[in-house]
Amino acid sequence: MHSDVELLRLIDAGEGVNIEFKRLVHSPEKIAKSIVAFANTSGGVILIGVDDDKRIVGVDSEKETVEILYEASTRFCDPPVQFETDVVAFKGRDVLAVIIEESDEKPHYHLSETRDPHSFKKIPERKVYLRNGSQNTAATREVAQLMASAKRPVRISFGDNERMLFRYLDAYHRITLHEYSRLVNISNRRAMRILISLVRAGVIRLHTEGKQNYYTLVYPAT
């Protein structure tokens, strides 16, 4: 993006899966959530100096804002996320465009801390965020595992555990991770590995809508 015409086009389109407006940036930890979400999804642009109502207010200090962004992308993103910046002037105000490409290293984790409600000790948190419309939403453990497994070769087998899964899906059409774990009497971790491998092989499908993930056969029996 190099012109005010392109800037106005993006603003007019409004916030969405690839666009976010920020009036200002002051917390590296908070903006890191958006950086991670764009890198984990399909990339996007953060327009800093643009209010939620699409008003261009500009940034006070480009240098200070870029320093906050750099801290966000290196300290609160794991692995760190690469980004580019572009300054676009409009009627005496500068808008900082932060361009984030879809990453080849995903999933990227957002790093933060919370406090234990009993001991009040700080507890580190690692969450994968995805861009869902104009919101950053936390991915489930299964989705994060599926993203991570994309870097590895697909290895599947068709033993008793898999055959029981297929029979269950033929009869009941859908199953959750916990249901499958109980069905074949194995740990959730091992059950997830089997399910994710079968998703990657194109045998079953992972559904993420609603509050609970579930799996179905790609080609159900007729």
**128 and 177 together in one domain:** no
Residue 151 has pLDDT above 80, yes or no: no
- Residue ending a domain, among 99, 120, 139, is 139
**157 and 50 together in one domain:** no
We report the CATH number of the domain holding residue 180 as 1.10.10.10
- Residue ending a domain, among 120, 139, 158, is 139
**22 and 95 together in one domain:** yes
Residue range(s) defining the domain that contains residue 205 = 147-217
Cα(141)–Cα(128) distance, integer angstroms: 8
We report the CATH number of the domain holding residue 79 as 3.30.950.30
Range with the poorest average pLDDT among 21-35, 42-56, 80-94, 108-122: 108-122
**202 and 110 together in one domain:** no
Asked whether residue 222 is domain-assigned, the answer is no
Residue 33 has pLDDT above 60, yes or no: yes
pLDDT digits (tens, 9 = 90+) for 197-206: 999 999 999 9
**200 and 90 together in one domain:** no
Asked whether residue 91 is domain-assigned, the answer is yes
**pLDDT value for 209:** 76
pLDDT digits (tens, 9 = 90+) for 112-133: 988 877 787 888 899 999 999 9
Residue 210 has pLDDT above 70, yes or no: no
Residue 1 has pLDDT above 70, yes or no: no
